[in-house]
Amino acid sequence: MQLVTRTEWGAPAETPAADLPTALGVDVHWIGGPYTTPDHSQCAAEVRAIRQEHLSDPVQHWVDIAYNFVVCQHGYVFEGRGLHKESGANGNQTVNHARYAVCAIQGTNESAGDTLLQGLRDAIDYLQANGAGDEIRGHRDDFNTDCPGDELYAWVQAGAPRPGGGGSPTPTPSPSPSAGPAWPGEYLALRTPMLHDDNVRTWQQRMRDRGWSITVDGWYGPASASICRQFQTEKNLDPVDGIVGPVTWGAAMRTDNIT
């Protein structure tokens, strides 16, 4: 799970929200309204904006961002109120006492990509490992609202399956000849602190073998992200986001697409 802690996205470390050590389960939300996902570097600002909107709501008098976790289309899990805290998002106190709240940063004009679903599942798993029961519901199950939209609601009704199945992120099956290992289940992306591990090294070595001018040092820095973007553009991958997920990893490992 790619967790972005409160301090990392610019909120005070502690939330004044009430404690809720256990709950029956989790409600899934979306932000609703038109929204077009920008580069991930803008996502923390969006989470701060959501928090500010909640803090200044004249009716609800929220003490903090209402959700326990907020997930962006890039699969990052932003810590809202966090674990063991009562949500303010589910519509009334009865539901807030019964379920934690996880919100997708998905606009009404956007679809829920696999990366978003991975992130939502990560957040749900994290809550379930820390006091949440196994009920997973859409906000509309508990309150008069369209939230979380038809697409996410269908996913929730199907049991919120992890894309690709299994209990952890799974590589997209590729029938193509491969020169390297399957996607390790970790998104290689620019982050703070900078990602540094063998998965980065493996990907960098593979890109170097393909002819890209890249340093093989295991650090996923701006140069790696730039190479990744250029590669995604060359291979017509979507999105071009500089993040090595299952599709980008798979394309890099193939041996029949080297130009």
Binding part of the chain for Zn ion, among 41-49, 166-174, 226-234, 242-250 by CB under 5 A, reads: 41-49
CB of 4 to Zn ion, least distance (A): 9
CB of 209 to Zn ion, least distance (A): 30
Provide the edge-to-edge strand list for the sheet that holds 2-4.
Answer: 2-4, 76-79, 69-71, 99-104, 23-30, 132-138
Q: What distances in angstroms separate CA 119 from CA 168, 186, 225, 244, one per listed residue? A: 11, 12, 20, 15
Tell me whether residue 72 or residue 244 sits nearer to Zn ion (CB atom): 72
Q: Which burial class, exposed, middle or buried, applies to 95 when counting CB atoms under 10 A from its CB (0-12, 13-18, 19+)?
A: buried
Tell me whether residue 29 or residue 85 sits nearer to Zn ion (CB atom): 29
Give dist(CA 9, CA 29) in Å, integer: 20
CB of 233 to Zn ion, least distance (A): 19
CB of 89 to Zn ion, least distance (A): 6
What is the torsional sign of CA 167, 168, 169, 174? negative
Could you count the other beta carbons within 10 Å of the beta carbon of residue 62?
Answer: 17
Tell me if 40 contacts Zn ion by CB under 5 A. Answer: yes
Amino acid at 211: G
For Zn ion, how many residues bind (rule: CB under 5 A)? 7
CB of 180 to Zn ion, least distance (A): 27
CB of 182 to Zn ion, least distance (A): 24
Binding part of the chain for Zn ion, among 74-82, 162-170, 201-209, 225-233 by CB under 5 A, reads: 74-82
Site for Zn ion in 185-224 (CB under 5 A): none
Helix axes 198-209, 246-253, angle to 10 degrees: 40
Site for Zn ion in 88-147 (CB under 5 A): 139, 147
Tell me whether residue 40 or residue 121 sits nearer to Zn ion (CB atom): 40
From candidates 26, 28, 43, 120, binder to Zn ion by CB under 5 A: 43
Give dist(CA 95, CA 27) in Å, integer: 9
Footprint on this chain of Zn ion (rule: CB under 5 A)? 29, 40, 43, 72, 74, 139, 147
